[in-house]
Amino acid sequence: MILLDSTVIAAAAATAAWLYFLRALLRKPLNNTLLSAWLGALCLAFSLYLGLLVYGAEAAHPLPLWARSASIAQHVFATASLYFGYTAYVHLIHGREEAGRHVVRHARLLVAAVAVMLAAAVLADPDQFTAAHVARYGDSAFAGLYLAVFTAYAGLIVTATARVSWTWSRLVDDPWIRRGLLVGTAGLVAGVLYFLLRAAFIVLAVAGRPIATKEGAAIGWLLAISVPLSFAGLTTPGWGPRLASARTWWRTYHAHRRLHPLWAELTDAFPHVRMSLEPSRFSGYLRSRFRHLDWMAAALDRWDERWSPLHRHLDLRLHLRVMQIWDARRALLDRCDPADHDRALTSRAASTLSERHRAALAEAAMLTAGLARLRTGEPGGGYHAETHPLEADLFANVAWFLRVAKYMKRGVVLSDEHSTSR
């Protein structure tokens, strides 16, 4: 028997999987991979539901007819689910004709295995079936054969699926299909171990040397690992790219927000470099409702500039923010003095920093001094060579400006002999 906890975990994973595949199948009804995956997940979910239904039924000895029927249906659904799971992998990696040959060949094996299982289950009397149900395989010849055939077929099909998954994970080009195959392989390997250990319990029990440990307690955890990982592998090509897109959006949004202090400080001094952009839907709605409130418009401007989780064209907004910082920086160079930059590089504060952070500290000191001269109307130190060129990679520029912003936020003050941060 299987532990209740592991069955619940596996049933939850199978339920989530068949609902996911049903949604995908409704969008692509002619996709054989999705159809096979949906049927496999659905059959496995029904199998596990039936396992939960008969849980504890052995308290009545022998098992009542409904419990025996449910147990037999449970194993038939499980064999069908493994077959459909295998055909899903076959359709995923093979062409239509080659996949058809695999499907037909394994369908014959499925029919033969189910026929033998049903014959043995029908021939077993209620007492024998009950003994096999509670893992006393040596006390029940026909029921033991019924479970042995199920275990052998399941182990064979899971091994074949794991082999296919592992082989093709090294050959496919699509990164998300490859990751899905690798995750699926890990789940299938756990399934292979589950059926190998179950076969060991059956063989040793028939040989008169039963294992004292309860079968479910010993191997149930493998089921709880195998089913979620296997379905995660099959679904990875669907949700993986969306996860990557969400991660990219968050990275872009986080960079856009963190650059705001530096962007605001530089572009406030040179507002001509800014570009009016479409407001967020939230602020656009409030603007339309409260047109007469000037303070509301100013607050919404600040919201859009810094905090708004904009979904539209966020990568463009980040690119523009970086370019506007560069443009404002170039406009400020006339007020900057190269001596401020050089002095910061040789200061005590810079001596303990890495090369990248030392350069950022010097840049921050130069820009801070340049902004101070701009406010007081003092001239700069004249033209000088570029201290840090524009990077080709957007996020390399973001990383550079974030380091500069960190030191500008600290309010770096430098003199000829020392520097401190307040």
Write a three-state SS string for 69-120.
Answer: HHHHHHHHHHHHHHHHHHHHHHHHHCCHHHHHHHHHHHHHHHHHHHHHHHHH
Residues 30 and 173 in one domain: yes
What band does 411 get if pLDDT is binned at 50, 70 and 90? low
Residues 99 and 229 in one domain: yes
Q: Give me the chain's average pLDDT, please.
A: 83
Cβ within 8 Å of residue 293, ≥6 positions away: none
Place of tokens 């404002």: 328
Alpha helices in 290-379 (DSSP H): 294-306, 314-332, 338-345, 348-351, 355-376
What band does 209 get if pLDDT is binned at 50, 70 and 90? confident
Residues 162 and 15 in one domain: yes
Total count of domains within the chain: 3
What band does 114 get if pLDDT is binned at 50, 70 and 90? very high
Residues 100 and 200 in one domain: yes
Dist CA 261 CA 9 (whole Å) = 47
Omega of the bond leading into 62 within 30 degrees of 0 (cis): yes
Answer yes or no: is pLDDT of 418 > 50.
Answer: no
Residues 317 and 199 in one domain: no
Residues 11 and 158 in one domain: yes
Which pLDDT score, from 0 to 100, does residue 385 have? Answer: 58
Place of tokens 């002095």: 343
Smallest Cα–Cα separation from 190: which of 216, 220, 217?
220
DSSP state of 134: T
Which pLDDT score, from 0 to 100, does residue 159 have? Answer: 93
What band does 3 get if pLDDT is binned at 50, 70 and 90? very low
Asked whether residue 18 is assigned to any structural domain, the reply reads yes
Question: Domain holding 172: CATH number?
Answer: 1.20.1070
Residues 183 and 204 in one domain: yes
Which pLDDT score, from 0 to 100, does residue 343 have? Answer: 87
Residues 375 and 237 in one domain: no
Residues 174 and 299 in one domain: no
Measured CA angle at 221 (ends 217, 226), to 5 deg = 145
Asked whether residue 354 is assigned to any structural domain, the reply reads yes
Dist CA 329 CA 367 (whole Å) = 8
Cβ within 8 Å of residue 71, ≥6 positions away: 50, 54, 63, 129, 133
Each residue of 362-409: pLDDT tens digit?
889 989 988 988 888 887 766 555 666 777 788 888 999 999 998 887
Q: 394 lies in which domain range? A: 259-278+313-421
Each residue of 275-305: pLDDT tens digit?
877 666 666 667 667 767 666 766 776 666 7
Asked whether residue 247 is assigned to any structural domain, the reply reads no
Answer yes or no: is pLDDT of 417 > 50.
Answer: no
What band does 168 get if pLDDT is binned at 50, 70 and 90? confident
Task: Indicate the residue type of 289.
Answer: R
Residues 231 and 318 in one domain: no
Share of the chain above pLDDT 90, in %: 23
Burial of 311 (0-12, 13-18, 19+ CB in 10 A): exposed
Identify the weakest region by mean pLDDT among 113-122, 200-209, 392-401: 200-209
Residues 287 and 334 in one domain: no
**CA distance to 84, 155, 321, per residue, from 255 (Å):** 45, 50, 10
Residues 229 and 319 in one domain: no
Share of the chain above pLDDT 70, in %: 85
203 and 135 Cβ atoms separated by less than 8 Å: no
Which pLDDT score, from 0 to 100, does residue 422 have? Answer: 34
